[in-house]
Amino acid sequence: MARLLTRKRLIIALLVLAFALFLGWRFVRPMNIFVVTDNFALPVSTAQIPEPLKTLSAQECATCHQEIFDEWSTTIHSQAWTDPYYQVDLAFDGSQQICLNCHIPLDRQQENLVLGFRDQDRSDPILKPNPDFDSDLQKEGVTCTACHLREGKILGTYGGDDSLHPIRKLNSGNEICVGCHVVSGDQWDTFFRFPPCGTVAEITKGKGQSGEMTRAEVAQLGCVECHMPVVTRPIADGGQVRATRRHLWRGGHDPEMVKNGLEIDVKETAPPASGKRKFTLNITNTGAAHYLPTGTPDRHLVVSMRVLDGAGNVLEEETNTLKRTIMWRPFIIDLWDTRLPRGERRTYDIEFSTNGNHPPAILEAEVRYFLVDEKRRLRIGYDNKEATNYPVFKRRVNLTIPNDEKG
Ligand code: HEC
Ligand code: HEC
Ligand code: HEC
Ligand code: HEC
Ligand code: HEC
């Protein structure tokens, strides 16, 4: 009897230990936050270069497509490799090859060739030095051919015969975007509402990810309509004038783009009691089909309102964050998401007393966009030279002027 008991205890102790070790391992294991799907598992092959092109550099495309080149040069796509935040993050994450397939997707942009994978998840590639590696092309990040070159042809939506290089006609320009702006998060141990950087899934409300989407569904996503505004001009210098798309792709790095996605107002609302005043800030996503902010879970908005007295002392303060919060360890769980879905409005109030010793003088309201989470910035050691956040809305209301004297 006694022996049976000790054996039972031993088994329980071993199970508890195994579970503790399992959890401990979950805290230190390298993490795959996304599934490596076919659309970006391998770099883009440049085995066939379409005649008469010689290099794959944006500089060469510029000889006939100068305006598009000038636009592309101003975008984060052209800095997807040199971007200092990306470089620090890449090193922090152990410089995995998989990161390169979206940030420098052409095989020649990568120092190593990918011969295959050692594991089923395709997170452990078999690498060999790449004799065709081109370090200048690498610096071009998401360069023209990263989007436009497939199997020796240039992808385009016109499919005309006037070009000097072979063309393959696309049904929709969005087909190019979904190659990199979609990742899947479906793994047994991962509980995402939306995949990481879920821009596309936010538009389709979680339905359909790259492979599962039909061409018609991809054409409906609207990416190029909002991110590549139409302009009338020749496609190539000296060619026929027609509707083309500007290569601008503005997003979180552009305050004007973020402002254009939002409608924000502050107004006084009915006082909750005598001797009190109340102001309300409304913020609505009127301009983005996906959530606002979207993209990496780093991106967030901070809405703050403060009431100050005449000497500048803070009497009342309200701060709210619109952010996607994910628990990464021991399991990946989407905890909560206070960002703005398309068309959605959020309301924030501030109330304060008017008859204290320090009469309120000023109400300040501000909405700030953050590219990087400050805690994460410190953890990965990113010593930013450019600001990581900026205001998209600022308002000061003078509380001492009675309403009828304002005009
Ligand atoms: C991030 C992907 C991407 C990159 C990088 C890119 N393009 Fe495009 N490009 C597109 C898409 C998508 C379209 C089709 C837009 C549509 O018609 O819906 C397009 C269209 C074009 C067209 C056809 C005319 C037009 O405006 O519709 C030309 C020419 C062109 N690109 C040249 C270039 C050149 C040159 C570069 C580099 C300087 C470049 N592209 C970089 C995605 C890209
Ligand atoms: C020698 C000149 C020349 C060079 C170099 C050149 N193109 Fe073109 N490209 C053209 C011409 C001409 C057209 C057709 C213009 C028209 O239809 O009005 C064209 C059309 C295109 C289109 C539209 C295709 C369609 O039918 O939808 C794309 C996309 C494109 N080029 C991308 C590129 C890229 C990317 C590069 C660099 C790798 C490049 N081009 C280099 C001359 C050039
Ligand atoms: C080859 C992969 C690839 C393709 C294809 C691609 N992108 Fe991107 N895109 C990226 C990467 C990588 C970044 C981030 C670069 C960085 O910030 O370092 C990015 C950033 C962006 C941004 C953010 C700008 C900002 O300010 O942060 C926008 C908007 C965007 N892409 C839109 C598009 C659209 C629209 C398309 C389709 C026409 C597209 N992209 C196609 C890889 C791609
Ligand atoms: C109705 C217009 C609209 C449509 C459709 C749209 N976007 Fe956007 N997008 C915006 C606006 C406005 C912003 C700036 C505010 C923000 O960051 O959400 C933005 C921002 C972004 C960013 C910036 C994220 C970052 O990290 O800085 C990316 C990436 C992006 N969009 C990709 C896409 C892709 C890919 C599609 C198609 C699947 C798409 N967008 C469709 C309007 C749109
Ligand atoms: C499936 C394509 C893809 C892969 C793989 C990928 N990225 Fe990105 N990355 C993007 C896109 C698209 C954006 C910009 C839009 C967004 O925020 O979603 C981006 C943005 C970023 C940014 C923000 C840059 C900025 O300017 O604010 C960092 C940092 C980054 N990626 C690092 C990495 C690292 C490190 C890896 C490897 C662990 C990686 N990425 C793998 C597509 C990818």
> In this predicted structure, what is the pLDDT of residue 403?
53
Ligand 5 atom with the shortest distance to the CA of 371: 27
Q: Which of 305, 306, 301, 268 is nearest to 284 (CA)?
A: 301
Write out the two tokens for 28: 């230190």
Share of the chain above pLDDT 90, in %: 75
Query: 20-66, pLDDT tens digit by residue?
Result: 888 888 777 777 788 888 889 999 999 999 988 999 999 999 999 99
Region 281-291 average pLDDT? 97
Q: Which of 113, 112, 109 is nearest to 138 (CA)?
A: 109
Q: How many A from CA of 342 to the centre of ligand 1?
A: 27
Closest C-alpha residue for ligand 1 atom 36: 144
> In this predicted structure, what is the pLDDT of residue 31?
75
Instruction: Tell me the C-alpha distance between 328 and 190, whole Å.
Output: 9
Closest C-alpha residue for ligand 3 atom 16: 80
Query: 129-140, pLDDT tens digit by residue?
Result: 999 999 999 999
Residues flanking ligand 2, CB < 6 Å: 53, 60-61, 63-65, 144-145, 148, 154, 156-160, 162-165, 167, 234-236, 239-240
Instruction: Tell me the C-alpha distance between 387 and 255, whole Å.
Output: 12
> In this predicted structure, what is the pLDDT of residue 1?
60
- Asked if 142 and 179 touch (Cβ cutoff 8 Å), the reply is no
> In this predicted structure, what is the pLDDT of residue 407?
39
Closest C-alpha residue for ligand 2 atom 24: 156
Q: How high is the mean pLDDT of the chain?
A: 92
Region 279-289 average pLDDT? 98
Q: Which of 206, 227, 205, 198 is nearest to 287 (CA)?
A: 227
Query: 303-336, pLDDT tens digit by residue?
Result: 999 999 999 999 999 999 999 998 888 888 888 9
Region 70-84 average pLDDT? 98
How sure is the predictor about 380, in pLDDT bands with cuts at 50, 70 and 90?
Answer: very high
> In this predicted structure, what is the pLDDT of residue 406?
44
Is the pLDDT assigned to residue 75 strictly greater than 50?
yes
Closest C-alpha residue for ligand 2 atom 5: 61
- Asked if 73 and 114 touch (Cβ cutoff 8 Å), the reply is no
How sure is the predictor about 209, in pLDDT bands with cuts at 50, 70 and 90?
Answer: low
Is the pLDDT assigned to residue 176 strictly greater than 90?
yes
Q: How many A from CA of 131 to the centre of ligand 3?
A: 28
> In this predicted structure, what is the pLDDT of residue 405?
45
> In this predicted structure, what is the pLDDT of residue 357?
85
Write out the two tokens for 242: 């027609």
> In this predicted structure, what is the pLDDT of residue 192?
81
Place of tokens 């995995």: 96
Share of the chain above pLDDT 70, in %: 97
> In this predicted structure, what is the pLDDT of residue 3?
75
How sure is the predictor about 5, in pLDDT bands with cuts at 50, 70 and 90?
Answer: confident
> In this predicted structure, what is the pLDDT of residue 59?
97
Closest C-alpha residue for ligand 4 atom 31: 251
Instruction: Tell me the C-alpha distance between 184 and 202, whole Å.
Output: 12
